[in-house]
Structure 1
Amino acid sequence: MKGSKRLLFTLLGILLVAAQGFAFQPSDIKYVEYKGEVVNSSNGRGISSAYLALNNSNISTITNSDGEFSLKVPEDLIEATVTISVLGFQSKTLPLTCFKSEETRIELDETVQELDEVSLYKATNAELLVKEMLDKKDENYLSDESLMTTFYRETIKKGWSNVGLSEAIVKIQKSPYNNGKRDMVSIYKARKSADYDKLDTVAVKLRGGPFNTLYLDMMKYTEYVLRPEMLDSYKFTFTDPTKINDRFTYVVEFTEMDKTDPWYYGKLFIDAATSTLVKADYSLNVDNRDVAASLFVKKKPGGCKVYPVELNYMVDYAQENGKWHYAYGRAELEYVVNWKKKIFNSRYKINSEMVVTDWQPVQDENWKRNNEIINPNIVMVDDASGFYDSNFWGSNNIIEPDKSIENAIEKIKRNMNQ
């Protein structure tokens, strides 16, 4: 278990160097775009990470941290319906005719679950339930190769200021869950920006790019967190059950018992009817700063100490035709840079997220030959490239930018034009 975890840390880490670059690429596919927000009906607050799926299609997107969304639909599908779902709220299905090009407001009601329905939950041993979840992986998840279109965003902040932004439309040849073949990743279109000179500070780069979120697919990459033969190294306990997409769901808390290295802890959300993992929220304890620094920091300038202080992860799965697949992954990382001759340290927050916006069965046997495959060592602010165009994103669904990100992009554009 520890060896597999160290391999993951080696693949995904931060670099402290210099940075540059800014790039876009165009698209001319026709589509209809709908924008709006998903809010809590009781207080009007935006709901982040709400999943919007166009029914009877593979098209989907997700809300940003402000609850805002952008959904792009081909013209021939405008008579469809959309299901909006998120943990803790009742799902809602609406006809696409209810959506507007701007300011669509969707209200979701919080889930109020009477525990007299808890009798529907039959499992009594949390560890055995997790074992059953892993044993049924071949039955519950995609068993054919598929081509996924995803949107990836990576942001790096020093304090409250954005210092690095990378976004990309990413193509993934997703291998079946019932074999050990690795997924292949290609960057279809990308843009990036950095403003390190203006901030007069060390530049933080994230190594791994889309792989930081792809490897959160617990059911595909079980060797990193839930290796079946190492389950006895975890403690599993039940907490209050819930509902996800109006389905009864077990909630299992887990924590590693060996705490000599950074150790995982968090929650697994397991569908009660099928024993399928549908969501996971978890973290990595990095209280041991020296060990954590050796694992996560790959390069740094002299005269400073750099170490992670908080690492949080989330993965969501979606169901299509009775089979589940990776739908969304998010990693939130916080690092401290402590200079020897400075009184105050600097804190950097690195967020990366990827949402699957479309997927199809693989039809091109020469996909690898016809696409430039990236490796897990990619650094987006160095390696992503493209060309600027106002219609860059074309028909591809993306996560609507947060207001702070929009402001940072505009600021960087102005700086580049000076």
Structure 2
Amino acid sequence: MLLPLETMAFQQNNAIDYNEYSGEVKEESSNKSLVFATLTVEGTNISTITNTEGNFLLKVPKQFIDKNIVVSFLGYKTKMVPISSLKPEKNEISLEVSVTQLSEININAPKDALALVRETLKNRDENYFKDPALMTAFYRETIKRRRRNVSLAEAVVNIYKTPYDIGRDDAVELYKARKSTDYSKLDTVALKLQGGPYNTLYVDLMKYPEYIFSEESLLNYKFTFDRSTTTNDRLIYVIRFNQLENVLEPLYQGELYIDVENKVLTGAIFSLNITDQEQAAQLFVRRKPARVDVWPTEVSYRVDYREKDGKWYYGYSSVFMEFKVDWEDKWFNSQYSMTAEMAITDWESVSRTERPKYRQRIKKSIILSDEASGFSDPDFWGEYNIIEPEKSIESAIRKIQRQLRRAERNSD
């Protein structure tokens, strides 16, 4: 019997019944860090990814410590690492580059890349989950002015993921969130990201193809075979797409990673073509002071899928947006960047009746930094898998924690 939705994925146990492992995933030959590598506990739905410095943090229930960690990354050979061989900290996992035979690439290269994309979209109902799932996800959004962190918000959310073969939207429930914001570094403009986890959820191209690849919009792009690579020891075609020159509205360009054997989209990296600043600003800027011009200079996306028992599901996505802020009475403009990312860290199949009620769901207009409550609960994350903080973010968290402690002492 399933527990109620609001308690099911997030029960806190008094006893620590998990082991924690941290470390770094690197390329074997060059020793460079591998960003967004996936680590999954073999035979389970428990997983995490490496951060932008290649670091990982994985919490494994003690009942699974006799299993392996499956480490995978696009273009590299998948590696199985016994959990029993890991130390609590400073683990180094090296992956070997997977070399694809050139003859195999040339012989099998698709002559009609658009037809392959169409077939992949058509196969969605067969290749992706047909059952609803309740997913535990870790979500993080950051705002930087130039290179300095000025705002950080993190959350654990429940996602009711509807089957890929029905048109119903996914639902998100916020369990708990925390934030830190240093408004002194934000000039007098406080940038906020509206939409929270929905920004990343809608990057799931296979669930929401209408946002980029509707049947009509496919004709606005040129699709070409770029190269082959591998992931999880499977041959992957890389299909590049660009909007046609005669299409004037801002569309997208990027790469699709398609499993050769099963015609499955395993991942995508793409960005918005920003040729008209005013048009692009209308897409993203909701409100601004009259004397300020704000426009995006870069908007890019990433989505990765994972496979279990022959079916694929959404695993990770990110959105990066860079803006210029130009004041009418200032000589220099300001540059801000906003990053939102979400990783599925656990999930289980549920019945269709488990969908949360409307009052339990967060609104699509949510501003997470307004909903979160600060970093005053450092033990909250407990057994839940999160993306290991980058050093710069970790420093920002420690700084705000010191400020909170000082404020508490002064109020006593």
| TM-score normalised by structure 1 residue count | 0.90
Moved more, 352-361 or 27-36: 27-36
After TM superposition, give the deviation of residue 271 of structure 1 in Å.
Answer: 0.3
- Deviation string, structure 1 residues 141-166 (Cα, Å, up to 9, x no partner): 00110111111110000011111101
**Counterpart of 2:228?**
241
Q: Distance in 2 between matches of 1:366 and 1:98?
A: 39
The answer to whether 1:325 aligns with 2:313 is yes
**Counterpart of 1:97?**
84
Contact 1:26–1:387 (CA under 8 A) maintained in structure 2: no
Q: Distance in 2 between matches of 1:367 and 1:263?
A: 33
Alignment-mate amino acid for residue 276 of structure 1: V
**RMSD of equivalent CA atoms:** 1.9
Describe the SS at the equivalent of 1:268: strand
The answer to whether 1:392 aligns with 2:396 is no
Describe the SS at the equivalent of 2:364: coil
Residues 41-52 of structure 1: pairs in structure 2 closer than 5 A: 41-52=28-39
Describe the SS at the equivalent of 1:203: coil
Alignment-mate amino acid for residue 233 of structure 2: D
After TM superposition, give the deviation of residue 79 of structure 1 in Å.
Answer: 0.6
Q: Which has the higher contact order (CA 8 A, sep 6+)?
A: 1
After TM superposition, give the deviation of residue 282 of structure 1 in Å.
Answer: 0.4
Q: 1:114 to 1:55 in 2, by over 3 A?
A: same
User: Paired residue for 1:152, among 139, 149, 153?
Assistant: 139
- Deviation string, structure 1 residues 155-209 (Cα, Å, up to 9, x no partner): 0000111111011111100000001010000111211111113554421101111
**Counterpart of 2:410?**
none
Describe the SS at the equivalent of 2:36: coil
After TM superposition, give the deviation of residue 233 of structure 1 in Å.
Answer: 1.7
Contact 1:189–1:386 (CA under 8 A) maintained in structure 2: no
Contact 2:141–2:153 (CA under 8 A) maintained in structure 1: yes
Q: Distance in 1 between matches of 2:134 and 2:327?
A: 45
Percent identity of the aligned residues? Answer: 46
Contact 1:163–1:195 (CA under 8 A) maintained in structure 2: yes
**Counterpart of 2:125?**
138
| TM-score normalised by structure 2 residue count | 0.91
What is the aligned residue count?
A: 394
- Deviation string, structure 1 residues 303-328 (Cα, Å, up to 9, x no partner): 11000000111100000111001100
Q: Where in structure 2 are there 5+ consecutive unaligned residues?
A: 1-9, 408-412
Q: 1:266 to 1:198 in 2, by over 3 A?
A: closer
The answer to whether 1:113 aligns with 2:135 is no
After TM superposition, give the deviation of residue 364 of structure 1 in Å.
Answer: 7.8
Moved more, 363-372 or 249-258: 363-372
Contact 1:279–1:317 (CA under 8 A) maintained in structure 2: yes
After TM superposition, give the deviation of residue 218 of structure 1 in Å.
Answer: 0.2
User: Paired residue for 1:343, among 308, 313, 331?
Assistant: 331
After TM superposition, give the deviation of residue 386 of structure 1 in Å.
Answer: 7.6
After TM superposition, give the deviation of residue 405 of structure 1 in Å.
Answer: 0.2
User: Paired residue for 1:74, among 50, 61, 68?
Assistant: 61
Q: Distance in 2 between matches of 1:282 and 1:387?
A: 33
Q: 1:205 to 1:264 in 2, by over 3 A?
A: same
Alignment-mate amino acid for residue 245 of structure 1: N
**Counterpart of 1:263?**
251
After TM superposition, give the deviation of residue 363 of structure 1 in Å.
Answer: 4.4
